[in-house]
C-alpha cells in the first residue's frame, strides 16, 4: 500500500473583518489546516504572522509581542480572535433579524436567509 502525503490548501488570509460568519469559517479552515499539517508551537505563531493582515495582523503583533512563540497555542489565539473581533451584540442582532425577518422577495431567498440565520444562531449558542 502506497502512502500519500496530503497537501492541504492554505487558509485564506484574515484581515480583521468583524463578521462572525467570516471569522467562524476562517477559524474552521485554520483548525483543519493545523490538524492536517500537525502544526505545533512555535510554528503556529509564525504561520499566523503570515496569514493575518490589516487590523488582524496589528492586533496579533500587539497582543503577542511579549509572549514566547513557544507558548502561543492555536486554542488561545482563536479564543482571543473571537473575543476581540466578534461584535459584542452579535447574538442579539441575529435574534432580532430572525424575529423580524419578512418575505419581501422570493420564497427561496426568504428560506435561504432564514436558514442562514438559524445556522449562525446555533453556532453562537454552542459557544
**Residue 43 lies in domain:** 20-85
Number of structural domains the chain divides into: 2
Is position 9 within any domain? no
Q: Which residues pair with 14 in a beta bridge?
A: 52
Cell digits for 112?
435561504
| Higher-pLDDT residue of 118, 122 | 118
User: Are residue 29 and residue 67 in the same domain, yes or no?
Assistant: yes
37 shares its domain with 76: yes
| pLDDT tens digits, 11-53 | 999 999 998 889 999 999 999 999 999 999 999 999 999 999 9
- Please report whether residue 95 resides in a domain: yes
How many CB atoms sit inside 10 A of residue 54's CB? Answer: 12
Query: 51 and 69: one domain?
Result: yes
- Please list the helix, strand and coil fractions of the chain in percent, rounded to the nearest 5, in that order: 65, 0, 35
Same domain, 38 and 77: yes
Contact (Cβ atoms closer than 8 angstroms) between residue 33 and residue 11: yes
Same domain, 24 and 58: yes
pLDDT tens-digit map of 74-99: 999 999 999 999 888 877 777 887 78
Q: What is the structure's pLDDT at 42? A: 97
Amino acid at each position: 500500500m502506497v502512502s500519500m502525503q496530503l497537501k492541504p490548501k492554505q487558509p485564506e488570509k484574515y484581515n480583521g473583518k468583524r463578521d462572525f460568519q467570516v471569522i467562524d469559517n476562517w477559524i474552521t479552515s485554520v483548525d483543519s489546516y493545523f490538524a492536517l499539517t500537525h502544526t505545533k508551537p512555535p510554528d503556529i505563531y509564525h504561520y499566523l504572522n503570515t496569514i493575518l493582515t490589516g487590523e488582524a495582523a496589528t492586533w496579533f503583533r500587539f497582543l503577542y509581542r511579549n509572549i514566547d512563540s513557544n507558548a502561543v497555542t492555536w486554542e488561545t489565539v482563536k479564543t482571543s480572535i473571537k473575543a476581540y473581533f466578534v461584535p459584542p451584540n452579535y447574538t442579539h442582532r441575529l435574534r432580532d433579524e430572525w424575529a423580524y425577518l419578512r418575505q419581501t422577495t422570493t420564497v427561496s431567498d426568504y428560506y435561504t436567509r432564514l436558514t442562514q440565520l438559524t445556522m449562525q444562531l446555533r453556532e453562537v449558542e454552542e459557544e
